[in-house]
Amino acid sequence: MRKYKITLILFFLSFSYVFGTGFNVGIYNLDNDLKFDLYNFCSKFFQYKFVLSEKEIQYQEELNLYNKTLLENQQIKESYAKNIYPDFETEKNDSEKEDLSKINFIEVDPIEKCNSFIIDGDEILLNHICLEQNLSLLIIPQTVVVSDFVRYRIFIFNNIEKTFNSIYDQLLPKTQLNLENEDLLNAISPAFYSNYCLVEIVGDNFDSTLVKPGDFTVYDNLVILPLGNYTIDNFSFEVKNEGSLKLSIKKDLEFSEDVLLNSKIGNLEILLNNYLQFKTPLKLDEVELPYTLKITKEGFKDSLIQVSDNVKSFEFDLSPSWQIEQNQFQEARKEFYNSFALSIGLFALRVVSKSLKEDNFKLYSGIDSFVYGVSIVNLLNVANKLFIYYKSSAFLAP
């Protein structure tokens, strides 16, 4: 019965082919609870296949031959339908143009009623999916709810070696569904590389920075590299052992010199990066960029400035606190009178709707009910605006 189901599934799958070359890896997502984007994760960290083994090269050649055969069969069917002889010379072999060192991740749509076969590692079904999608590997993330925990597993099917393994198994409490990037990378990396090093950069943030040569991109201060010599932001280092490597790199610091802080008001208190300095006028000899300035004075509204450029001078003009309160009072008064005017209009509309309701009950009863409801809501709004108006005027009272 199981073989019959799989045969039927393969029959329907065989009607659609996905042609293409390169080292393709499929993501067959069975994660219904954690919602972790494994496709995006893998696409960021696994960009290149460092070295293609003899088996991988041979598999690519066989895969290209398989695709070519399918294409020719399809062309024969179409030519017979049109009563013309098939011209195979028009077909181009794109594999010559494809960079096989680039890893292409493909999201594979789950097949209905096949999840149990996939998780069981059914080789016939998995092999057929890989052939139809031109995949060398198929990665299958799955989640299962276990009481107050979510079990997150990752399976991988290697269609070159015809092996199916569980490479990651983590039990996470529902209150903390976080996966560690480093753990995931250590679990998945052996599927792509025989010799590699997971480099962690300690210290400053180097996200999206390129490691040369090879243009390897750093994400979350992590990058996977083959053995060799590299440079990142003018810092040179060597990866000579596989495993893990921690680098401590400090970016070149930028400073702003001779910064003049002044104000027409005078005697403003200056806080540089939340540390109290002196009162204006003030000259800063050397400040590391970026920095934050907070300007305060009793009776005035505080001002906060984030400085990222080498600006030489600042002139501060703070707004008096009473002016802010005056503006708040004016705004509150305007909103109250607008709301009050609306309530008068709604009252007049209610009188009209009631008179129309008496003449034609069925037609205008709904309108009357709607106007009544809006009137009640607006009355509550008027009360709220009146309270805000009163509170704002209290600050201005002598």
12 has pLDDT over 50:
no
- Percentage of residues in the chain having pLDDT higher than 90: 25
pLDDT grade, residue 189 (50/70/90)? Answer: very high
Does residue 108 lie within any of the structural domains?
A: yes
Q: Are residues 28 and 165 in the same domain?
A: yes
In a domain, 53, yes or no: yes
Q: Which of 204, 228, 251 is the last residue of a domain?
A: 251
Q: 292, 316, 340 — which closes off a domain?
A: 316
Token pair in block for residue 256:
């702003």
Do 32 and 166 lie in a common domain?
yes
Q: Residue 125: which pLDDT band, with cuts at 50, 70 and 90?
A: very high
Same domain flag for 6 and 132: yes
Average pLDDT, the chain: 77
Q: Of 330, 318, 316, 308, which Cα lies nearest the Cα of 395?
A: 330
Would you say 200 and 213 are in contact if contact means Cβ atoms under 8 Å apart?
Answer: no
Indicate whether 396 pLDDT > 70. no
Tens digit of each residue's pLDDT (9 = 90 or more) over 293-344:
888 887 777 778 888 777 887 777 766 654 545 556 567 667 766 776 777 7
With beta carbons less than 8 A apart as the criterion, state whether 272 and 292 touch.
yes
Is 294 a member of any domain?
A: yes
pLDDT at 176 exceeding the cut of 70: yes
Specify the pLDDT at position 363.
55
Return the pLDDT at 17.
Answer: 41
Q: Are 117 and 88 members of one domain?
A: yes
Q: What is the 3-state secondary structure (H, E, C) of the chain?
A: CHHHHHHHHHHHHCCCCCCCCCEEEEEECECCCCCCCHHHHHHHHCCECCCCCHHHHHHHHHHHHHHHHHHHHHHHHHHHHHCCCCCHHHCCCHHHCCCCCEEEEEEECCCCCCHHHHHCCCHHHHHHHHHHHCCCEEEEEEEEEECCEEEEEEEEEECCCCEEEEEEEEEEECCCCCCCHHHHHHHHHHHCCCCCEEEEEEECCCCCCEEECCCEECECCEEEECCEEEEECCEEEEECCCEEEEEEECCCCCEEEEEEEEECCCCCEEEECCEEEEECCEEEEEEECCEEEEEECCCECCEEEEECCCCCEEEECCCEHHHHHHHHHHHHHHHHHHHHHHHHHHHHHHHHHHHHHHHCHHHHHHHHHHHHHHHHHHHHHHHHHHHHHHHHHHHHCC
- Distance CA(224)–CA(47), nearest Å, equals 9
Instruction: Give the pLDDT score at 279.
Output: 75
Is 213 contained in some domain?
A: yes
Q: Which of 284, 316, 348 is the last residue of a domain?
A: 316
Of 348 and 116, the structure prediction assigns the larger pLDDT to 116
Answer whether residue 28 is part of any domain: yes
Based on the domain organization, do 12 and 75 belong to the same domain?
yes
90 with 174, same domain?
Answer: yes
Identify the domain containing residue 220 by its residue range: 195-251
Tokens of 331: 């705004």
**Token pair recorded at residue 297:** 């004075």
Q: Does 267 share its domain with 331?
A: no
**Residue 189 maps to a domain:** no
Are the C-beta atoms of residues 224 and 194 closer than 8 Å to each other? no
Selected residue with higher pLDDT from 249 and 377: 249
Q: Are residues 125 and 86 in the same domain?
A: yes
Distances 273 to 288, 304, 317, 371 between C-alpha atoms, Å: 10, 10, 20, 56
Q: Looking at the structure, do residues 286 and 351 belong to the same domain, yes or no?
A: no
Length of the chain: 398
Q: Same domain, yes or no, for 233 and 259?
A: no
Residue at 123 is within a domain: yes
Same domain flag for 28 and 82? yes
Residue 380 identity: L
Domain assignment present for 184: no
Reply yes or no on whether the pLDDT at 381 is more than 80: no
Tell me what pLDDT residue 91 has. Answer: 47
Query: Total domain count for the chain?
Result: 4
CA geometry: angle 280, 282, 287, nearest 5 deg:
135
Are 203 and 274 members of one domain? Answer: no
Exposure class string for 197-222: b at 16+ Cβ within 10 A, else e = bbbbbeeeebeebebeeeebebebbb
